Chains A and B, each alone.
Chain A
Amino acid sequence: QSVLTQPPSVSGTPGQRVTISCSGSSSNLAHNYVYWYQHLPGTAPKLLISANDQRPSGVPDRFSGSKSGTSASLVISGLRSEDEADYYCATWDDSLSGFYLFGTGTKVTVL
């Protein structure tokens, strides 16, 4: 069963740098783009990073993404209180007949 594994939670103080990891496998991250989404409770998720490391217009440059092999990372540099949310990595998985796979999700807490 394909899984994208993220840490359940990360935390930091305002201004700190935090990193969220996303671990996949040869059927997903190895050959497909990773996307990152930010989800605040009660609102629609928001695209944060597309195609591994591209920031859509309007996304602050303190958010950055990278991918290497079967792992990906999202870095928030200069953590702010409004960054407190759930974060999900996601990618296409080529197993079975193909499907879009979301990571397990990471809750970011600003202390």
Chain B
Amino acid sequence: QVRLLQSGTEVKRPGASVKVSCKASGYTFSSYGISWMRQAPGHGLEWVGWNSNYNGKTTSAQKFQGRVTLTLDTSTSTAYMELRRLTSDDTAVYYCARVIGDRIYFYGVDAWGQGTTVTVSS
């Protein structure tokens, strides 16, 4: 079955960077894009961005542009999200998910990772 396994809990200082991994199994990794979402304490789900498997293009939400890097490593079926210049507002559970789409078009996501807790605190 489709499975996305994320890396473990992270605790970071303000201004630092964090890199979360998401290892896929149970499907052909190169046939699907990967999206990243987050949920801050007491808040709803928020989209961070996604990598298209079709052309490798990254699209991210405007608030993260210039601060986030999303990559796909097809050799290890692993996706990565690096977020820089962390602040306390970045404290959240981060999720990766497989994209339902058509080449460059993003329709939604189906399988989700278990989530990675990132805490930013001085």
Contact = CB atoms under 8 A, between A and B. Distances in A.
Contact of B106 (A44, A92, A104): A92
Interface of B: 35, 37, 44-47, 50, 59-62, 95, 97, 100, 105-115
A99 B61 contact: yes
Interface stretch (A10-18, A20-28, A31-39, A69-77): A31-39
B44 A88 contact: yes
Interface residues of A, number: 26
Nearest 7 pairs between A and B by C-beta?
A: A35-B108, A105-B44, A44-B112, A100-B47, A102-B45, A47-B110, A99-B61
A27 B84 CA distance: 30
Contacts of B60: 99
29 contacts: A32-B107, A33-B108, A35-B100, A37-B45, A39-B45, A44-B114, A44-B115, A45-B45, A45-B95, A50-B107, A50-B108, A50-B110, A56-B110, A88-B44, A90-B47, A96-B62, A98-B59, A98-B106, A99-B59, A99-B60, A99-B61, A100-B47, A100-B50, A102-B37, A102-B46, A103-B44, A104-B44, A105-B44, A105-B45
Interface string A52-79: 0000100000000000000000000000
Nearest to A100: B47
Contacts of B106: 92, 98, 100
Contacts of B100: 35, 50
A30 to B, nearest CB: 15
A51 B44 contact: no
Contacts of A88: 44-45
Residue picked from A92, A98, A99, A104, most chain B C-beta under 10 Å: A99
A79 to B, nearest CB: 22
Nearest to B113: A44
B95 A44 contact: yes
